Amino acid sequence: MCVARDWRNRGIGRQLLQTCIEVCTREGFIEKLELEVFSNNPGAIALYRSLGFELEGVRKGSIRKAGEPVDIICMGKWLT
Ligand SMILES: CC(C)(COP(=O)(O)OP(=O)(O)OC[C@H]1O[C@@H](n2cnc3c(N)ncnc32)[C@H](O)[C@@H]1OP(=O)(O)O)[C@@H](O)C(=O)NCCC(=O)NCCS
């Protein structure tokens, strides 16, 4: 997910993900949400943790940014 730069840190990202979790929970048949995030994005990781997503794994050096390998963090949240 991505919030326009000028609108970040105003609670919009939290609201978007919270709404996503609520809608998926209400649907009743969705058991689990999963996401991936670059390891060098501590703000996003903190946001996901605070909404109940747990670390499930790391894909080491899965992508290159500016020529440098970056890990991808896999996170999940059970709704049941
Ligand atoms: C990640 C992103 C979606 C968050 O959206 P946002 O609207 O800025 O976030 P919010 O204002 O709702 O929430 C901020 C929360 O993130 C966390 N956070 C943000 N920056 C942080 C930082 N530098 N260090 C630690 N936590 C941070 C805090 O937990 C904060 O929680 P709070 O509500 O208790 O203050 C937004 O920054 C973004 O679009 N970034 C660029 C794209 C991106 O990185 N997307 C994620 C890809 S997986």
Is residue 80 over pLDDT 90?
A: no
pLDDT tens, position by position, 20-65 = 999 999 999 999 999 999 999 999 999 999 999 999 999 999 999 9
The whole model's pTM is what? 0.92
Amino acid residing at 39:
S
Contact predicate 18/51, CB 8 Å = yes
Amino acid occupying residue 27 = E
CB 58 within 8 A of CB 74: yes
Q: How far does the centroid of ligand 1 lie from the alpha carbon of residue 13, in Å? A: 6
Strands 32-38 and 68-78: antiparallel
42-50 vs 12-27: helix crossing angle, rounded to 10? 40
Q: List pocket residues of ligand 1, CB cut-off 6 Å.
A: 1-3, 8-14, 37, 41-44, 46-47, 50
What the chain holds in terms of domains, given with CATH numbers, is 5-78 (3.40.630.30)
